[in-house]
Chains A and B, each alone.
Chain A
Amino acid sequence: QKEVEQNSGPLSVPEGAIASLNCTYSDRGSQSFFWYRQYSGKSPELIMFIYSNGDKEDGRFTAQLNKASQYVSLLIRDSQPSDSATYLCAVIAGNQFYFGTGTSLTVIP
């Protein structure tokens, strides 16, 4: 079982809709959770991090963490075509960083 699992997609949403991206992880001791955005041909860039159960909002982005169910999600409100990218979930467990394989998101104008 992989440490971090993501649905590879592709996920398509119309412009202005809410995009919902999900990630599950296997290590209950995981401490920190990150969402990265990666445009085609570019390197990943951090967009959100979350450490505590519940929601964390930053502009149009909301990260949700549920440690009991071992999932973390990212909601993108008012999706824009510029949000079209691959979104990587990452988890720190112990002293190791684990990445999911990413979910491809396309926002259709």
Chain B
Amino acid sequence: DVKVTQSSRYLVKRTGEKVFLECVQDMDHENMFWYRQDPGLGLRLIYFSYDVKMKEKGDIPEGYSVSREKKERFSLILESASTNQTSMYLCASKPAGTEETQYFGPGTRLLVL
């Protein structure tokens, strides 16, 4: 079974703090993704990576950065957390290939006060 894990299920941070969200997958997948999910807005892609040290901006990259130093690990960084970044953050991974599905981690619910 594919396993995608995220470092925290719940996180509370203060405005201005630097926040690290980590995602690890154990299936040697090439592609990894970070989404945020908000009521009524669905899943919105923040960044994705198709290989180590490679990254591409998604639909809403502002205020975020990412790091992929190892194939199995994809980190999302909030440089200076703001209240409008309170959300559910979902990591996903998939093998290369257009017919392959994404596998999601359990999600991190982040509250920025």
What residues of chain A have their CB less than 8 Å away from a CB belonging to chain B? 8, 31-32, 34, 41-46, 49, 51, 88, 90, 92, 95, 97, 99-102
What residues of chain B have their CB less than 8 Å away from a CB belonging to chain A? 33, 40-43, 45, 50, 90, 94, 98-99, 101-107, 109
Bound-state CA distance A54–B74 (Å) is 37
Distance between A36 CB and nearest chain B CB, rounded to angstroms: 8
Bound-state CA distance A88–B102 (Å) is 13
A43-B101 contact, Cβ under 8 Å, with A101-B40, A102-B42:
no
**Which B residues lie within 8 Å of A51 (CB)?**
99
**Which A residues lie within 8 Å of B42 (CB)?**
88, 99-102
Distance between A10 CB and nearest chain B CB, rounded to angstroms: 13
Which one of B99, B103, B106 contacts A32 once the chains associate, using CB atoms below 8 Å? B99
Q: List 12 A-B contacts (CB under 8 A).
A: A31-B99, A41-B109, A43-B105, A43-B106, A45-B104, A46-B101, A49-B101, A97-B94, A97-B102, A99-B42, A101-B41, A102-B42
Taking a contact as CB atoms under 8 Å apart, the answer to whether B33 and A42 are in contact is no
Distance between B59 CB and nearest chain A CB, rounded to angstroms: 10
Taking a contact as CB atoms under 8 Å apart, the answer to whether B98 and A44 are in contact is no
**Which A residues lie within 8 Å of B107 (CB)?**
42-43
Taking a contact as CB atoms under 8 Å apart, the answer to whether B98 and A42 are in contact is no
Distance between B36 CB and nearest chain A CB, rounded to angstroms: 12
**Which A residues lie within 8 Å of B33 (CB)?**
97
Q: Which of chain B's residues has its CB closest to A98's CB? A: B45
Taking a contact as CB atoms under 8 Å apart, the answer to whether A88 and B99 are in contact is no
**Which A residues lie within 8 Å of B99 (CB)?**
31-32, 49, 51, 92
**Which B residues lie within 8 Å of A95 (CB)?**
50, 98
Known: A41-B109, A97-B94, A97-B102. 4 other contacts (CB 8 A): A49-B99, A51-B99, A92-B99, A95-B98
